[in-house]
């Protein structure tokens, strides 16, 4: 007899419908309840979420048996799984994946620490039985995912610098996967925070907006280094608040006057956050969301995870093989003083144009340094190499994300239609274009 | 399904208070209070469990519940979908039934009994299947399910119905929160 396989049932373990769990006590008295997560482990094993000590738990520890009923949201087909309890895991990838999903949901719901996963209960499957009833035939796969994945990877391969790569990633996901809203966030140097460096499909780009590790689906994906996917937001614990509201409420963005609003959808129906991994280090997150529920199934996760892995690899490669060009330097006469005031607050390295917040942190420090040098010498051409070697910028020892910071700075200036621009002039080289009079003001606050 | 709503849940403590208030006139018998009777017949998610002849747990979902009296519930379900539970009950299994409110803030309770009686469905069961089905779908719509998804879960072939009658012997609050699972004692 062939061992029962859960493989064809993966879409019934997406958590769209809650599942039913039955157990017995030692006297044979049954107990029945709903369970939030039936997690696919492999064709012969599932993991169930252990969140509370209750009768189900007591029964499980005593009789080590469970029956679970799951339903496929596309075909409405239902299945009974007869399960034997093996063990409870409180660490490792299965636990982290389940915990992260729960944590992401809880975080958006403002219930950090309440929805806590105590363990991932691992079960072997004794039998799988279809529940009699009506089921409709599965819809043909509407998207050729493999072709979309290949096209996305090819579009990324065609990019020769980080700036183009990040933009290609978000645009191609939209074009090839028909995902309305996408963004890439990079991890800040030495800080457990992510900042948005590319986005697509939002009314405002949100470039420079920040998310802390552990906050929301993006922050949890980064912290736990696992993909986080919520496929039916409104049924998954009644997620309703926008991520931007959540982010603001959680203090994820800088204080008043120094905020860049997170561009997320107000009412997302589906979200997925995929960590960008360089070895065992998370260097960023690829994030996608749509207003429609159930857009991201496990097959879409597989496809997007492949794209994310490729994106991470391309980012790492471009950052490594960047030639540090040393070319002739142009100078331009320093413009006359006056015009716009460029204000710098050394405390948080924030920069304001007149009274409007522009950017802070390393990107702010870079802009201040460039503007000062330009004012002193008229110099306009710079290299990333000299920035890396500049101790005054307080860059960490391995400032892998300097390029991402420059992209962030360039896009912020562009968006603000500022009279300062940063233009690429070659790999590792860029030009500061000052189009108006600048007065540099250092604020000692 | 129903327990993932954004609505503020009632609490197990609230269930126990309501139970105590409404049980004042009863004398030692296990009787469902008016609010639990209402919940059971409000388009709730109704789940049953039993022990098979092989000694394994098994479960089924039901389509509707009719309170024949405060001490007897008639649960109507699909014969085909509920076969393992029905077979187990015919073999003398004990029974557990959980009712989870579709739009009542996660409120839930579980009844347990030593036996259950299996009877054919009757014509008067049919309007309740339809009425409670509509309420169930409305509850799902409130938490963001599409009509298609709600109807897909609910689909019931009225030609294939059977009824399970249960006299609750023990009742437990199953509303999520501290105290969940506490027995509501007579």
CA–CA gap between residue B46 and residue B156 (Å, rounded): 14
A138 interfacial to chain B (CB closer than 8 Å)? no
Residues 67-126 on B with a CB inside 8 Å of A are 78, 80-81, 83-84, 93-98, 100, 110, 112
Beta bridge partners of A257: none
Strands B108-113 and A420-426: unpaired
User: Phi and psi dihedrals of A354, rounded to 5?
Assistant: 50, -120
Strands A19-24 and A210-212: unpaired
Q: Which residue has the higher pLDDT, A337 or B149?
A: B149
Average pLDDT, integer, range A334-342:
71
ipTM of predicted assembly, 2 dp: 0.89
Residues 140-159 on B with a CB inside 8 Å of A are 143-146, 149, 152-153, 155, 157
A254 CB-contact burial (10 Å; exposed 0-12 / middle 13-18 / buried 19+): middle
Distance (Å) from the alpha carbon of B134 to chain A's nearest alpha carbon: 18
If you write DSSP's letter for every residue of B56-124 in order, what string do you get? -EEEEEESEEEEEETTEEEEEEETTTTHHHHHHHHTT--EEEEEE-SSSTT-EEEEEES--EEEE--GG
> Which residues from B are below 8 Å from A16, CB to CB?
149
Is pLDDT at A253 greater than 50 in this prediction?
A: no
pLDDT above 90: percentage of residues in chain A: 38
User: Phi and psi dihedrals of A75, rounded to 5?
Assistant: -105, -10
Residues 6+ apart with CB under 8 A from A411: A197, A205, A207, A208
- Beta carbons of B95 and A30 less than 8 Å apart: yes
Closest to B166 (Cα-Cα) out of B89, B100, B91, B107: B89
Contact between B58 and B52 (Cβ < 8 Å)? yes
Q: With bands split at pLDDT 50, 70 and 90, how would you rate the model's confidence at A385? A: confident
Strands A438-442 and A340-345: parallel
- Beta carbons of A18 and B93 less than 8 Å apart: no
Contact between A246 and A209 (Cβ < 8 Å)? no
Contact between A433 and A364 (Cβ < 8 Å)? no
| CATH class for the domain made up of A340-442 | mainly alpha
The two tokens of residue B21 are 């208030």
pLDDT above 70: percentage of residues in chain A: 81
Contact between A285 and A222 (Cβ < 8 Å)? yes
Element (H, E) at A249: helix A243-249
CA–CA gap between residue A302 and residue A307 (Å, rounded): 9
Q: For each of chain B's 186 residues, which pLDDT tens digit applies?
A: 333 333 444 788 888 888 877 775 556 678 899 999 999 999 999 999 999 999 999 999 999 999 999 999 999 999 999 999 999 999 999 999 999 987 656 789 999 999 999 999 999 999 999 999 888 888 777 766 677 767 766 666 778 899 999 999 999 998 877 777 889 887
pLDDT at residue A231 in the model: 66
In the block, tokens 């719509």 appear at B141
A361: helix, strand or coil: coil
- Beta carbons of A32 and B180 less than 8 Å apart: no
Residues 29-48 on B with a CB inside 8 Å of A are 45, 47-48
When mean pLDDT is compared across A142-146, A248-252, A391-395, the lowest value belongs to: A248-252
Is pLDDT at A115 greater than 80 in this prediction?
A: no
CA–CA gap between residue A48 and residue A22 (Å, rounded): 12
Contact between A362 and A395 (Cβ < 8 Å)? yes
pLDDT in tens, A116-166: 789 999 999 999 999 988 777 766 656 689 999 999 999 999 998 898 999
Closest to A322 (Cα-Cα) out of A429, A444, A181: A429
Is pLDDT at A14 greater than 80 in this prediction?
A: no
- Which 8-state DSSP code applies to residue A258? S
Q: Which residue has the higher pLDDT, A188 or A67?
A: A67
A183: helix, strand or coil: strand
Instruction: Give the architecture (CATH level 2) of A145-320.
Output: 2-Layer Sandwich (3.30)
CA–CA gap between residue A105 and residue A115 (Å, rounded): 8
Topology of domain A7-131, per CATH? Pnp Oxidase; Chain A (2.30.110)
The domain segmentation of chain A, as residue ranges, is 7-131, 145-320, 340-442
Q: Which residue has the higher pLDDT, A391 or A283?
A: A283
pLDDT at residue A248 in the model: 39
- Cα-based torsion angle of the residue sequence A370, A376, A378, A384 in order, rounded to the nearest 10 degrees: -30
When mean pLDDT is compared across A208-217, A339-348, A352-361, the lowest value belongs to: A208-217
In the block, tokens 């279809």 appear at A130
Count of helix runs (H) and strand runs (E) in chain B: 5, 9
Residues 401-440 on A with a CB inside 8 Å of B are none
CA–CA gap between residue A336 and residue A351 (Å, rounded): 20
pLDDT in tens, A374-383: 989 989 999 8
Contact between A284 and A185 (Cβ < 8 Å)? yes
pLDDT at residue A331 in the model: 65
Is pLDDT at A260 greater than 80 in this prediction?
A: no
CATH number belonging to the domain at B12-173, selected among 3.30.470.20, 2.30.110.10, 2.120.10.30, 3.50.50.60: 2.30.110.10
Contact between A34 and A51 (Cβ < 8 Å)? no
pLDDT at residue A109 in the model: 45
Distance (Å) from the alpha carbon of A74 to chain B's nearest alpha carbon: 8
């Amino acid at each position: 007899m062939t061992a029962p396989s859960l493989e064809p049932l993966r879409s019934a373990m997406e958590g769209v419908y809650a599942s039913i769990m039955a157990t017995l006590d030692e006297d044979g008295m049954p107990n029945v309840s709903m369970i939030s997560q039936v997690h696919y482990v492999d064709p012969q094993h599932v993991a169930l979420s252990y969140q509370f000590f209750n009768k189900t738990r007591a029964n499980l520890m005593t009789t080590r048996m469970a029956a679970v009923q799951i339903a496929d949201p596309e075909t409405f087909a239902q299945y009974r799984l007869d399960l034997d309890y093996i063990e409870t895991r409180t660490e490792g990838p299965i636990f982290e994946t389940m915990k992260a999903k729960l944590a992401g949901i809880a975080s958006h719901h403002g219930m950090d620490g309440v929805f806590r996963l105590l363990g991932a209960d691992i079960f072997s499957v004794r039998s799988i039985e279809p529940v009699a009833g009506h089921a409709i035939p599965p819809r043909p796969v509407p998207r050729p995912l493999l072709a979309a994945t290949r096209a996305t990877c090819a579009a990324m391969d065609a990019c020769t610098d980080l700036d183009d790569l990040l933009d290609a990633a978000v645009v191609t996901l939209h074009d090839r996967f028909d995902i309305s809203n996408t963004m890439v966030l990079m991890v800040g140097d030495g800080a457990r925070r992510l900042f948005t460096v590319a986005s697509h499909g939002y009314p405002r780009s949100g470039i420079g907006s920040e998310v802390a590790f552990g906050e929301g689906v993006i922050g949890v994906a980064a912290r736990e280094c696992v993909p986080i996917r919520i496929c039916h937001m409104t049924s998954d614990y009644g997620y309703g608040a926008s991520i931007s509201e959540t982010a603001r409420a959680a203090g994820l963005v800088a204080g008043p006057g120094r905020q860049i609003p997170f561009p997320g959808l107000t009412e997302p129906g589906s979200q997925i956050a995929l960590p960008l991994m360089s070895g065992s280090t998370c260097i960023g997150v690829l994030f996608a969301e749509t207003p429609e529920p159930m857009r991201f199934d496990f097959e879409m996760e597989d496809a997007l995870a492949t794209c994310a892995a490729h994106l991470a690899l391309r980012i790492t490669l471009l950052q490594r093989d960047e030639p540090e060009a040393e070319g002739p330097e142009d100078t331009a006469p320093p413009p006359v003083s006056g015009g716009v005031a460029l204000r710098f607050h050394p405390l948080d390295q924030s920069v304001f144009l007149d009274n409007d917040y522009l950017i802070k942190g390393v990107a702010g420090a870079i802009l201040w340094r460039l503007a000062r040098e330009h004012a002193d010498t008229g110099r306009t051409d710079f290299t990333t190499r000299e920035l890396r070697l500049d101790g005054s910028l307080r860059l960490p020892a391995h400032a892998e994300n300097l390029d991402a910071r420059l992209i962030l700075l360039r896009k912020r200036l562009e968006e603000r239609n500022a009279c300062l621009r940063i233009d690429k002039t070659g790999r590792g080289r860029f030009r500061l274009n000052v189009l108006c009079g600048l007065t540099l003001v250092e604020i000692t606050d | 399904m129903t327990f993932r709503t954004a609505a503020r849940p009632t609490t197990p403590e609230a269930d126990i208070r309501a139970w105590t208030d409404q049980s004042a006139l009863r004398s030692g018998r296990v009787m469902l209070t008016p609010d639990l009777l209402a919940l059971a017949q409000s388009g709730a998610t109704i789940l049953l469990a039993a022990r098979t002849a092989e000694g394994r747990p098994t479960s089924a979902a039901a389509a509707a519940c009719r309170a024949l009296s405060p001490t007897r519930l008639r649960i109507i379900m699909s014969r085909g979908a509920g076969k393992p539970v029905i077979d187990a009950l015919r073999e003398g299994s004990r029974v557990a039934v959980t009712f989870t409110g579709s739009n009542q803030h996660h409120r839930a309770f579980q009844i347990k009994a030593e036996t259950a009686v299996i009877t054919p469905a009757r014509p008067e069961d049919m309007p309740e299947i339809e009425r409670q089905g509509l309420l169930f779908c409305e509850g799902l719509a409130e938490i963001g399910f599409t009509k298609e998804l709600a109807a897909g879960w609910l689909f019931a072939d009225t030609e294939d119905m059977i009824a399970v009658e249960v006299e609750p012997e023990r009742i437990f609050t199953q509303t999520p929160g501290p105290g969940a699972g506490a027995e509501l004692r007579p």
